Amino acid sequence: MSDGAWCAVPKEFSSVYLDMDAVTEGASVKVNGKFAGGMIGAPYRLNVTSFIKPGGNIFEIEPYAPKAVRLLVY
């Protein structure tokens, strides 16, 4: 099991974004063990739709963990 955060996603969705607050420099993101992308500067939002599977997903955020994270499922 990964040290990342686990999150359930419904069976049907059109888009999934990882939205982070209070990132001071930048972040590298893995979803289910695969590199999903990175960000430098605001907005700290990353489209992770192609990495998501229905049910449980593991998110790993490095090197700067945000104070709050929202998973936006549309």
Nearest CA to 20 out of 34, 40, 3, 49 is that of: 40
- Residue 65 pLDDT > 80: no
pLDDT in tens, 14-62: 899 988 876 667 888 999 999 999 888 778 889 999 999 888 899 998 8
CA 30, CA 60: separation in Å to the nearest integer? 5
With cut-offs at 50, 70 and 90, classify the pLDDT of residue 2.
very low
Residue bearing the bigger pLDDT, 2 or 32: 32
pLDDT for 52 equals 92
Tell me the domain boundaries of the chain.
5-73
Q: What is the pTM of this model?
A: 0.74
